[in-house]
Amino acid sequence: MAEDSRGTNYLRLAVGAGVIAAAAVGIAMFVPKRRLAMVAEPLSDLAKLPVAAAVTAWAMGLWRDATAPRAPVFDDLRPFDEF
């Protein structure tokens, strides 16, 4: 049971990506383009800052760590038979 809580939970990652995608599609469908452009203009100015590049590099590092190949872990929790 403890093994389930370690590492990246891909189900949570997929659900989170789905929620973000559904929100993006909902905004694109129901918000008028003129109002969306007015709201997104300050955000596009923020994307030009060096902090945005640092956050992107950090997120890519997390992605690289999550998708890196790993050796299999054999933890069957059986007692040792050395008597």
pLDDT tens string 3-53:
555 566 888 888 999 999 999 999 888 888 888 888 888 888 888 889 989
Q: Print the SS3 string covering 46-57.
A: HHCCHHHHHHHH
Q: Which pTM value belongs to this model?
A: 0.41
| DSSP-assigned letter for residue 71 | -
83 vs 9, 34, 77, 79, 80, CA distance in Å? 39, 77, 17, 11, 9
State whether residue 22 is helix, strand or coil.
helix
How far apart, in whole angstroms, are the C-alpha atoms of residue 15 and residue 23? Answer: 12
Higher-pLDDT residue of 14 and 74 is 14
